[in-house]
Structure 1
Amino acid sequence: MAPPSVLERLARWLKWPLVLAGLLAALALVFAIHAAGQSSWAVGALVLFTAGFYVYLSGSGFAYRYLFPGVAGMLVFIAFPLVYTAQIGFTNYSSTHLLSEERVRAYLLDQHDAVEEQVQAFTLHADGGAYRLVLRGAPGPDGEGAAPAWVSPSLALRPTAELLRVDLRPATEEPLPLNGPLQAALPLAEVVKHRDALRQLVLALPGHPELRYLGLREFGPITPHWAANPDGSLTRRADGVVFHPSADSGFFQSAQGETLAPGFKSGVGWANYSRMLLDAEFRGPFLAIFSWTVVFSALTVLFATAIGMFLAVLLNWEGLRFRTTYRTLLFLPYAVPGFISILVFKGLFNQNFGEINAILDALFGVKPAWFADPFLAKVMLLIVNVWLGYPYIMILCSGLLKAIPSDLYEASALAGASPATNFFKITAPLIIKPLAPLLVSAFAFNFNNFVLIALLTDGRPDFLSTKLPAGQTDILVSYTYRIAFRDSGSDFGLAAAISTLIFILVAAMSLINLRMSARAQK
């Protein structure tokens, strides 16, 4: 047996140090996820890393080494986003409910007013490698106080997560609380650099209230707006009104119904899903958009299939001259990037300057409002989408036609059958069966055809007098995008619920596709 090579020995020496480094990196990532407040996801990451180390380091997991990357990728990039999106669908997460309850409470407790008559100006002075903070009493007309009134000990001025109490001594105290002569005050640009550290200082003066940072030139006492209660509620100091956190509304709310902004994220159960069906003001546009999504997808597949199949049969006619040229020209819409074709059509359909309206005006004296009329806008979408989709069906049908035995057409010719009879009795039945799964896939693709809607109509024209802005040419995916990121208040919870519904519908289509594919192979 040959002795191990240098590379083999090097690999053996580096194996366990690399494993240890990977283990420490994995534990650090799990700890970071846990520290961010996502304990459940931290447990999931820990389980995934543990499985990975087991598969690649143990002999019993050898059979799964090639399978594990695919499974892990599916969990991270498919299952995790799906579960996370579905989880958001059961919350009120939105632009007004972005923070957690704890962060909202901390934000409210941090609200305060300064006691203006006791505000004191300060200057910052270098003291070796540290700094001295000097209070100078009320600022004069030039923004500077008189002689130093109070002096701090040497401060490192490093930002911390907690408040730092600093006891100041009178500047006139003997011995002077300075190691040497007080250096010149730092310019404002240098003070700005230490702003975060200054915010964490609480200055304590004998016989005076504690002072907090108020700005780049001032410290002063503050009066908080809110007082925290043991049960988690907050009491407004001005009038004593108590605000309790309400999981239903996602706000701190008083008994009289008054709410405090901002709101916090909370679970709302099936409220987003019931809103789709039970809220009359939302249900109308939602059902209309859902119906249009189904009609849009179905009609696109129907027309594209009819045109593509007709052209494939026509180009399959051996007596047709220049077949190759025609096939190349008809395939061009599929070769050009889709977004370019959509933007070209957007210009062609322009009501005042588009070529299509120019031709219609010259022939019939009409200029249709393609983008303003809901029906015409939907017709325009179908025209453009069919134009983009028929070449795909044409190529598929051309390939399937080659698989039909020519004996069938010869026998049909001897029987005196017409071309229409050949198509409906021979061609269509033999093509439609293997084509069916692909048509289901095309239906599912158009069900989520966001690019066409966004570039051509952007969902317009809008429904009138709706609770949430909704477009009459929106499909579910563009409507979801609009709710989450555009002009509907960033209602992420509702958008996530609709996204989950879309996933269920597309998953059902995929199952149908698999069933049809299995039947086609029998």
Structure 2
Amino acid sequence: MQQTVNPTKSQSSFNIWLKYLLIGAVLLIDFYLVMLMYSQGEYLFAILTLVILTSGIYIFSSKKVYAWRYVYPGIMGMTIFILFPLVATIAIAFTNYSGTNQLAFERALSVLGQQHYFSGEKYDFKLYPQADNRFKIALRHGDMESVFVSDSIALNDKQVVVTEQDEPQGDVAPLKVITQNRSALQAMTVVLPNGNELTMSSLRQFSEQKARYHYDEANQVLVNNENGKKYRANMETGFFQAVNESGDWLSETLEPGFTVGTGFNNFVKIFTDEGIQKPFLQIFIWTVVFSVLTVVFTVIIGMVLACVVQWEALRGKAIYRLLLILPYAVPSFISILVFKGLFNQSFGEINMILNQLFGIRPEWFNDPFLAKAMILIVNTWLGYPYMMILCMGLLKAIPQDLYEASAMDGASTWQNFSKITVPLLLKPLTPLMIASFAFNFNNFVLIQLLTNGRPDMIGTTTPAGYTDLLVSYTYRIAFEGSGSQDFGLAAAIATIIFLLVGGLALLNIKASKMKLD
């Protein structure tokens, strides 16, 4: 009796084997990427890659966790764009990561090992064109009559052997040809008859080069081959530092440095280094004041304007609403740049008007108080339309019976506003006011475009300005430091900002008797 094969069962078996084959391929790629990142010292990225790919494979290949497939993309997105940057920032805060200390120890050692110095005599060279776009290279040392000449070569040859010969006949290639093929010539190694190797040192010369450093693993010492100096890795500062014969530290260090853990040193520096502590406290106070005043001004102006445009007797309400909401429709960076021009001390329209009316020309960008006042004016202009729109919607939810009852009791317009409108608007506005406070606490765009933190403070260790917020101060430490970009210190301040914003938000929520679900 002939046996038949079920095609459905065969297809199902094929699909299962294909599934496991794809899973195995993805896992191999995953482990390869993880090992590659780990070997380069990128431990956090290695962990992130391992978690994302392995968890994704498990969720999308197992029926037991089928429901998680729908929330997995959102969870991973939150992990990649929120949780991971937060963890990475906190991790950097406990290191000396900076513009001069970005590499892992092994990578820094490798970079130092690639440095060379000219250790031998220099040879002038010439190129003699040959057929088929090939050349002969001739090298001469000083006034020597004999020259070292190669066979016909291509300029992209990596190694060229020369022998002592008579100088070739014919035209010499102009400097233009050497310039056009500079990269290829720099990658070329010329071997002399005695075995010495030469590399291109200028547009007209080849010179013998040797590695500047070699690492003695037995004694863990980096030795300078040129002068014999010895350097040892200082695991506290993250540099190879010179040592004397007794092994004591000298002042000389080598760059690039490497990243090492520093514990709480960056946090301690913020509160103990006077050059950092003083501007940090001033900027922190100004950040809180700026955020609070911005919320207060935008809420008051937005609430008043919302009541005005909702007034029944007002004619042309639609036009007023459009004009008052217009600042919200214009991109904020455009409005900020426009105000920067308006407040220009020499040619701005604001100073021109003040000069005509009162004979004064305030120095908005040079005086710390005026600069802060200017920032509050601009930010209030940018923020009030949002609050006004919210209040316009909330006003419609207030029962008209309350106003009718107060009218019967003889209440004035101000009493209606202060006793009915404001209390009933503040309660639903409280969460939005807290969100506005948190947003303005980190309002980097406004400061960066309008004042860039200036006017600058004098006598500080780090770049700091009177109008800097903590977030812009952190940016300047990380990217505008005059010495080196101190990412570790910037990350420590960013960590403090995160704790402050979270703590202040929770404090405000608790004070307003709101519960977190």
SS of the residue corresponding to residue 447 of structure 2 reads helix
**2:327 corresponds to which residue?**
333
In structure 2, what is the Cα distance between the partners aligned to 1:512 and 1:53?
41
Question: In structure 2, do the counterparts of structure 1 residues 36 and 352 end up closer, same or farther at CA, with 3 Å as the change threshold?
Answer: same
Judge conservation of contact 2:213–2:225 (CA < 8 Å) in 1: yes
Q: Does 1:211 align with 2:204?
A: no
Q: Does 1:298 align with 2:301?
A: no
RMSD of equivalent CA atoms? 4.1
TM-score by length of 1: 0.81
Question: In structure 2, do the counterparts of structure 1 residues 36 and 122 end up closer, same or farther at CA, with 3 Å as the change threshold?
Answer: farther
From 68, 78, 85, the equivalent of 1:81 is 85
76-85 vs 16-25, greater mean Cα deviation: 16-25
Aligned identity (percent) is 47
From 131, 138, 143, the equivalent of 2:141 is 138
Question: In structure 2, do the counterparts of structure 1 residues 197 and 296 end up closer, same or farther at CA, with 3 Å as the change threshold?
Answer: same
Residue type of the alignment partner of 2:485: S
The C-alpha deviation readout for 1:148-198, integer Å capped at 9, x for no partner, is 56779999957xxxxx9x9x69679xxxxxxxxxxx999747864544753
Judge conservation of contact 1:243–1:253 (CA < 8 Å) in 2: yes
**2:400 corresponds to which residue?**
406
From 216, 222, 245, the equivalent of 1:229 is 216
**1:483 corresponds to which residue?**
477
337-346 vs 394-403, greater mean Cα deviation: 337-346
Judge conservation of contact 2:212–2:225 (CA < 8 Å) in 1: yes
258-267 vs 392-401, greater mean Cα deviation: 258-267
The C-alpha deviation readout for 1:12-70, integer Å capped at 9, x for no partner, is 99867766665565455445434544245324312321111111111112010101111
**2:457 corresponds to which residue?**
463
Residue type of the alignment partner of 1:108: L
Q: Does 1:421 align with 2:419?
A: no
TM-score by length of 2: 0.82
In structure 2, what is the Cα distance between the partners aligned to 1:45 and 1:133?
52
In structure 2, what is the Cα distance between the partners aligned to 1:156 and 1:363?
74
112-121 vs 368-377, greater mean Cα deviation: 112-121
Q: Summarize the alignment of residues 35-184 of structure 1 with structure 2, pairs less than 5 Å apart.
A: 35-117=39-121, 138=141, 157=157
From 498, 501, 505, the equivalent of 1:503 is 498
Judge conservation of contact 1:123–1:217 (CA < 8 Å) in 2: no
Question: How big is the shift at 1:517?
Answer: 9.2
From 212, 237, 244, the equivalent of 1:249 is 237
**1:271 corresponds to which residue?**
265
Judge conservation of contact 2:40–2:107 (CA < 8 Å) in 1: no
In structure 2, what is the Cα distance between the partners aligned to 1:310 and 1:155?
78
Residue type of the alignment partner of 1:211: E
**How many residue pairs align between the two structures?**
494
Judge conservation of contact 1:349–1:357 (CA < 8 Å) in 2: yes
Q: Does 1:393 align with 2:397?
A: no
Judge conservation of contact 1:97–1:250 (CA < 8 Å) in 2: yes
Question: How big is the shift at 1:132?
Answer: 11
328-337 vs 431-440, greater mean Cα deviation: 328-337
Q: Which runs of 5+ in 2 are unaligned?
A: 1-6, 166-170, 243-248
**1:448 corresponds to which residue?**
442
SS of the residue corresponding to residue 250 of structure 2 reads coil
Judge conservation of contact 2:100–2:257 (CA < 8 Å) in 1: yes
**2:433 corresponds to which residue?**
439
Judge conservation of contact 2:155–2:184 (CA < 8 Å) in 1: no
Q: Which runs of 5+ in 1 are unaligned?
A: 159-163, 173-183
Question: How big is the shift at 1:353?
Answer: 2.2
In structure 2, what is the Cα distance between the partners aligned to 1:270 and 1:23?
38
210-219 vs 486-495, greater mean Cα deviation: 210-219
